[in-house]
Structure 1
Amino acid sequence: MDIPSLILLLVICAIGAHFVLKWWWPIIKERKNLTPEQMIERVLQAPAKGIQREASKFGSPIKTLVIIIVNANLLYGWLWIGHRSSFALWIGLGYLAAGFLVQHLVKVPTAPEMAGLNIWDRFWLKIFYAWFWPVYAPYISRRS
Structure 2
Amino acid sequence: MATKKELAASIKAATGTDLNPDKLTAEKLEELAELAEQGEEGREAFDAKLAEYGLSTDGKPTTPGDKAPSAAPGDETPAPKPGAKTRRVRTSDAIAARNGEFTDPETRETIGKDWVDVTATRFVRDLITSGQVLDDED
Fold equivalence (TM over 0.5): no
- Greater share of helix: 1
- Greater share of strand: 2
> Which TM-score bucket, shorter chain as reference?
under 0.3
| Structure-1-length-normalised TM-score | 0.22
